[in-house]
Amino acid sequence: MRIGVIGCGAIGSVIVDAILRGEVRAELVALMDIYPEKCEGLLKKFAAKYSIPVCKELEELLRIRPQLVIEAASQQAVRDYVPRILTEGIDVVVLSVGALLDEELYKEVIEATKKGNTKVYVPTGAIAGIDAVKALQPLGIKRVVLRSYKNVKAFDKEVLKRLGFSEVKEMTKIFEGEGKVAVKLFPANVNVVAALALASGRIPWVEIYADPARNKNVHEIEVEGEASKIYMKIENVPHPDNPKTSYLAALSVVRLIKQLTEGSGLVIGT
134 forms part of the interface with ligand NAD (CB under 6 A): no
Q: Give the footprint of ligand NAD on residues 16-35 (CB under 6 A).
A: 32-35
Give me the half-sphere count of Cα atoms (radius 13 Å) on the Cβ side of residue 44: 6
Q: Give the footprint of ligand NAD on residues 176-205 (CB under 6 A).
A: 191
42 forms part of the interface with ligand NAD (CB under 6 A): no
95 vs 152, which CB is nearer to ligand NAD?
Answer: 95
CB of 229 to ligand NAD, least distance (A): 23
100 forms part of the interface with ligand NAD (CB under 6 A): no
CA 189 to the chain's CA centroid = 10
Encode 9-28: b = buried (16+ Cβ within 10 Å), e = exposed.
Answer: bbbbbbbbebbbeeebebeb
Give residue number: closest CB to ligand NAD. Answer: 9
Rounded Cα gap, residues 221 and 199, in angstroms: 13
CB of 211 to ligand NAD, least distance (A): 20
Q: Which residues have a catalytic role annotated? A: 219
8 forms part of the interface with ligand NAD (CB under 6 A): yes
Rounded Cα gap, residues 70 and 72, in angstroms: 6
Q: Give the footprint of ligand NAD on residues 58-87 (CB under 6 A).
A: 72-74, 76-77, 80
Listed ranges 2-10, 167-175, 196-204, 224-232: which one lies at the site for ligand NAD (CB under 6 A):
2-10
Interface residues toward ligand NAD, by CB under 6 A = 6-12, 32-35, 38, 72-74, 76-77, 80, 95-97, 125-126, 191, 242, 245, 249
